[in-house]
Amino acid sequence: MAVLPTFAYSDQQLEKEILQLNQRLLNSIVNGDWAVYKELCANDITCFEPETGGHQVEGMPFHKFFFPENALTDGDREVTMASPKIRILSKDRTSVLISYVRVNQRCKDNAQLSYFPETRIWSLIDGKWKHVHFHKSKY
């Protein structure tokens, strides 16, 4: 995906790019694709999520744990963003926030659904969009 200078984007183009990048990130998570996840995330990514026990975690090593090598597929999986909202955070259009409810669907013997409200921040770093922070909540 070619990254244009942020001034060359309309708001709609920028929103579309962030939605596509975020979907690619979510797909990498459910598919256990560490290479794509690592490509899309800043090395110093920070997060709050249920797995951190309320603590802010910084860096990629924590996340690597959730991407076991040769992960087994245990049924079809799908991940979608319900009601995504995008907010451009900076005048230079290099920081963007996206919030949504993440819907995980898994179908092995029967359909299983899980939902998580998420907020993610993307920043343009050295000409590439990088995921720099997220907050995931449990219902």
Residue 122 has pLDDT above 90, yes or no: yes
Q: Which helix (H) or strand (E) holds 85?
A: strand 76-88
4-13, 48-57, 79-88, 96-105: least confidently modelled range: 4-13
Give residue 55's Cα distance to chain centre: 19
Which is it for the CA torsion 43, 135, 100, 81, positive or negative? Answer: positive
pLDDT category of residue 113 using cuts at 50, 70 and 90? confident
pLDDT digits (tens, 9 = 90+) for 47-67: 999 988 889 999 999 988 888
Name the one residue in this structure whose structure tokens are 């299983």: 112
Give residue 98's Cα distance to chain centre: 9
pTM of the model: 0.87
Query: For the chain, what percent of residues have pLDDT higher than 90?
Result: 63
CA distance 89 to 122: 10
**Averaged pLDDT for residues 81-90:** 96
Q: With b meaning 16 or more CB within 10 Å and e meaning fewer, what string describes 23-32?
A: eebbebbeeb
Residue 4 has pLDDT above 80, yes or no: no
Q: Residues near 64 by Cβ (< 8 Å), separated by ≥ 6?
A: 34
